[in-house]
């Protein structure tokens, strides 16, 4: 790993998907760290200050959504880009987010990126590059 490698936190409860994402990101030059649930994800975010956080929205007991809310309400962490990963279709996710935002007194920002599982490797990497390396050439 190069000293300038960007760090990505993967918050994913499914070991197979976590291994796939980690291998993909490591092969593309990123440093990956892991968390299996909301509490571990929040702790890793505070300790490691990653350049990007990828959250599985569908973790049990709404942990993905709760982690996202916690990150965006934390003044020390809310500037870290968040990438949501889910089996829910993108259109449905954003419709639900809009409804929740309208019902909340303080709406949360929309995640910087969203992709359905299983992710296509090149689409995933392209979105990540856009989020944490603005202006970087596409490969």
- ∠ CA 14-18-20 to the nearest 5 degrees? 120
pTM, whole model, 2 decimals? Answer: 0.81
CA trace torsion 23, 116, 70, 130 (10° rounding):
70
* Coil, helix or strand at residue 44: helix
d(Cα 41, Cα 50) in Å, to the nearest integer? Answer: 11
The superfamily CATH assigns to domain 7-131 is Response regulator (3.40.50.2300)
Q: Quick check: 71 and 48 in contact, CB under 8 A?
A: no
Domain boundary assignment for the chain = 7-131
What stretch of H or E contains 70?
A: helix 63-73
Q: What are the tens digits of pLDDT across the range 79-126?
A: 999 988 877 665 655 555 554 554 454 567 777 887 888 888 999 999
Task: Please identify which residue in the block is written with the tokens 């929309």.
Answer: 110
Query: What is the number of alpha carbons within 13 Å of residue 22 lying toward its C-beta?
Result: 14
Name, of 70-74, 106-110, 111-115, 132-136, the range with top average pLDDT: 70-74
Q: Whole-angstrom distance between the N-terminal and C-terminal Cα of the chain?
A: 19
């Amino acid at each position: 790993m190069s000293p300038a490698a960007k760090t990505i936190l993967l918050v994913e409860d499914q070991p197979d998907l976590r291994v796939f994402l980690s291998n993909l990101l490591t092969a593309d030059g990123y440093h990956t760290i892991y968390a299996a649930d909301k509490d571990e994800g929040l702790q890793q975010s505070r300790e490691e200050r990653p350049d990007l956080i990828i959250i599985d929205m569908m973790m049990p007991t709404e942990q993905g959504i709760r982690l996202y809310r916690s990150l965006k309400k934390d003044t020390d962490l809310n500037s870290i880009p968040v990438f949501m990963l889910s089996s829910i279709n993108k259109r449905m996710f954003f419709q639900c987010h809009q409804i929740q935002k309208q019902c909340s007194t303080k709406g949360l920002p929309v995640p910087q990126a969203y992709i359905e599982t299983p992710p296509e490797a090149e689409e995933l990497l392209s979105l990540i590059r856009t989020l944490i390396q603005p202006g970087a050439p596409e490969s």
